[in-house]
Amino acid sequence: MPHFRVPLPLRLTVLASVAVLAACGGSNDSSTPSASNTSTTTATATIPAPPADPGFVDNAAIPDVPAFVDTIATNQRGDARYATLATNAGVRVVSRFLDIWQPLTEIVDAGVSAPANGSFPAVVQSTWTGLPNDGTPGGAVVNSAVHAANIQFVVAETTNRTQAQADAAYYDDRRGKGYSVTDGMGPLTNAWRAAAQQVTTITSIPADATTVLYNDNGNNIGVGSSGGNTSFGQVVDLLNIMGNNASTEPAKRFYKYARPYRWSTSVVVDPTLVPAESTTPSTDGGFISGHEAEAMRDAMTMAYVLPERFQEMASRGLELGENRIFAGMHSPLDVIAGRMFALAATAANLSDPSNAALKSAAFSQAHAALMQSTNTNSTSFAAFAHSGTAATDRFADYATNKADFTRRMTFGFAPIESTNAPPVVPKGAEVLLKTRFPYLSAEQRRVVLKTTELPSGYPVMDDAEGWGRLNMFAAGDGYGAFHGSVIVSMDASLGGFNASDLWRNDIAGAGKLTLQGSGTLKLGGNNTWSGGSQVSGGVLEADSPNAFGTGDVYVGAGGITIAAASPVSIVGKYTQLAGTTLELDIDGKGAGQLHVGNQLTIAGGTLHVKFVSGYAPKVGDTIDLIDGNGATKQFTTITVDGHKATPVYSSTGVSVHIDS
């Protein structure tokens, strides 16, 4: 539709001087209007100052404990140097399980022996049988309530599972984990599998499950560079490298905790998987889940190279973990620990400087290959990645994914310790968000993890580094709270999330948000932060009624877009200076309207009125746009899509009258 620039009504004499503007703080922004291009409707016009700077920047200190990312190479079995809790990183990261279960020996010794190595004594193979009810010593339950709940959860899930859940459990057990989790890509699944040259031989459920055991003879994550995959091989190479030092066997052979069906005969193993039950329980510990660890590691690596599906892939990783419970093969605590270990191992390998070039190449290769195969480009790719429906993409519904992910984080366990311990973020964990938030610094990404993590107190999850409390789904929605000064600088020319991003968390805190650069940052939560917002470049978009929290909004450069489905409230002051733009997306039912609770100051700039959702106003209509009290309410230009209109200013707001 055409745009019409509307001559403003009578311009009144400006009485506010440049000196007054400077005294009010307006001159701190490069777009502060001069007296010659500012209009006012009253005898006095005072331009409010931007929200006050808090004077500090939030951070997330690195815990003063041995870091998994620095010690992953110690995650070994069959080596006396790395056989104890103190010396093995993989054992240590899930050590809060010792609050629940005391293994027969605190050594990586189940089915393992190793000669002495220097000052480290020889490892003697454990006498643990792996059978908790055979009358031989096998360890001790320390917290009987949590242990009982752990096994009872499996009883409940296996006795109440649907056939669809049983089938999913079978496929996730037998297929290569890398192949399984790629269906978290939704509309990109087929393109990903074709580019990776992934194949599986598990294409049906065996008819005679009592005699036939299907093992996947496919290629799991696909074909790498050395196999001649020139267009996608580096993506596969990166996935392969993520397995370095990432075995769950050391932890299994340290904790010596039986699988749930060995604890209780009420656990109903999926009949199709009974042939998969190990005949050597002494080397078949349930804690931790190897399937979940590998699946979550693959899923988070795929999310790293394809952050457009970040939350969906994180959801797929946890879904596979619950399918291990539906199978009867693992308990919730086994799966929780597998998730923790996976995040630590992925972060460690992504943080390895020797993998830096491969990370970058894999990211570029994934996007180039998938854009080509889906006939998309950097502008349309993200939309295509989310173009599925519930019928074609079981991760298409955001609310369902969020609810399922949150539930699977704890599987219903209640906290057993204090829930108000300070947040803790592991060293190196910020790398997991690097491609999801390319416009944030490493320290800012750490603060995102800090402000979105789970409360303390849940069984197993209170490890000293903080891997257990990380909530990767919530972290994918940006900050959970603003503490101090939060400055976000985006560059639209770089495309992707640098150009446009949506934060959907409910942002709390007393800090201040400042947007700089040229990108668009969309806020979609029920926000309550109180320190205000300042736009010094780019566009800050309100996608929810309380997007701006409870503070002031000051637009000194760039612009604001009001795109929520119902009126947006600014509790504090709203100030807009010359050279800026306010876009209102009006649907005739309240969407796009702006309510300002405190002083409304419009000292120039552009008002752009768009009509959305099929709304078509009639000639003669007067459309309410902004309400609020203030001394200065006049735009330099008003553009109303498809119409000629006259602005109507009053003591309580701004409207437009549709002329033609």
Average pLDDT over residues 556-574: 98
Task: Find all residues with CB under 8 Å of 457, minimum gap 6, and list them.
Answer: 415, 416, 417, 418, 419, 421
Backbone dihedral region for residue 605 (phi beyond 0: left; psi -120 to 50: alpha; all else: beta):
left
Confidence of residue 489 (pLDDT cuts 50, 70, 90): very high
Tell me the torsion sign for CA atoms 168, 170, 171, 175: positive
For 525, the domain range is 479-658
Average pLDDT over residues 437-445: 98
Confidence of residue 629 (pLDDT cuts 50, 70, 90): confident
pLDDT tens digit sequence for 165-219: 999 999 999 999 999 999 999 999 999 999 999 999 999 998 877 777 778 999 9
Average pLDDT over residues 547-557: 98
In angstroms, rounded to a whole number, what is the distance separating the alpha carbons of residues 575 and 42?
Answer: 16
pLDDT for 137:
86
Confidence of residue 633 (pLDDT cuts 50, 70, 90): confident
Shared domain check, 424 and 291: yes
pLDDT tens digit sequence for 244-301: 999 999 999 999 999 999 999 999 999 999 999 999 999 999 999 999 999 999 999 9
N- to C-terminal Cα separation, the chain: 13
Whether pLDDT at 35 is above 90 = no
pLDDT for 42:
39
| Residue where a domain terminates, one of 406, 431, 451 | 451
- Rg value, the chain, Cα: 29
Please identify which residue in the block is written with the tokens 């959801």. 315
Per the CB < 8 A criterion, the answer to whether 496 and 382 are in contact is: yes
Average pLDDT over residues 121-133: 96
Confidence of residue 21 (pLDDT cuts 50, 70, 90): very low
Shared domain check, 412 and 320: yes
539 within domain boundaries: yes
Shared domain check, 395 and 521: no
Shared domain check, 253 and 166: yes
Q: Which two tokens stand for residue 429?
A: 């964990």
Q: Which helix (H) or strand (E) holds 358?
A: helix 356-374
Average pLDDT over residues 472-477: 98
Per the CB < 8 A criterion, the answer to whether 227 and 68 are in contact is: no
CATH value at residue 310: 1.20.144.10
Tell me the torsion sign for CA atoms 38, 40, 46, 50: negative
DSSP type of residue 413:
P
Shared domain check, 323 and 252: yes
pLDDT for 568:
98
Average pLDDT over residues 82-103: 98
Average pLDDT over residues 586-594: 97
121 within domain boundaries: no
Provide the residue type at 132 as one letter.
Answer: P
Confidence of residue 20 (pLDDT cuts 50, 70, 90): very low
563 within domain boundaries: yes
pLDDT for 540:
98
Confidence of residue 38 (pLDDT cuts 50, 70, 90): very low
Tell me the torsion sign for CA atoms 77, 79, 83, 86: negative
pLDDT for 99:
98
Shared domain check, 553 and 516: yes
In angstroms, rounded to a whole number, what is the distance separating the alpha carbons of residues 419 and 412?
Answer: 15
DSSP string, 191-226: HHHHHHT---S--S--S-TTT------S-TT---GG
Confidence of residue 2 (pLDDT cuts 50, 70, 90): very low
Shared domain check, 508 and 437: no
* Single pTM value for the model: 0.92
75 within domain boundaries: no
pLDDT for 413:
98
Whether pLDDT at 376 is above 50 = yes
312 within domain boundaries: yes
Shared domain check, 483 and 440: no
645 within domain boundaries: yes
247 within domain boundaries: yes
Shared domain check, 495 and 383: no
Confidence of residue 226 (pLDDT cuts 50, 70, 90): very high
| Residue where a domain terminates, one of 412, 436, 451 | 451
Confidence of residue 34 (pLDDT cuts 50, 70, 90): very low
Number of domains in the chain: 2
Confidence of residue 45 (pLDDT cuts 50, 70, 90): low
Per the CB < 8 A criterion, the answer to whether 571 and 598 are in contact is: yes
Q: Each residue of 574-608: b (16+ CB within 10 Å) or e?
A: bbbbbbbbbbbbbbeeebbbbbbebbbbbbbbbbb
467 within domain boundaries: no
pLDDT for 135:
87
Shared domain check, 589 and 495: yes
Report the candidate in 196, 190, 191 with the shortest Cα–Cα distance to residue 229.
196
Average pLDDT over residues 60-77: 98
Shared domain check, 393 and 270: yes
pLDDT for 9:
36
Report the candidate in 373, 388, 372, 234 with the shortest Cα–Cα distance to residue 312.
388
pLDDT for 480:
98
In angstroms, rounded to a whole number, what is the distance separating the alpha carbons of residues 332 and 28?
Answer: 55
Shared domain check, 592 and 629: yes
In angstroms, rounded to a whole number, what is the distance separating the alpha carbons of residues 382 and 379?
Answer: 7
Provide the residue type at 256 as one letter.
Answer: K
Please identify which residue in the block is written with the tokens 């010794």. 109
pLDDT for 8:
38
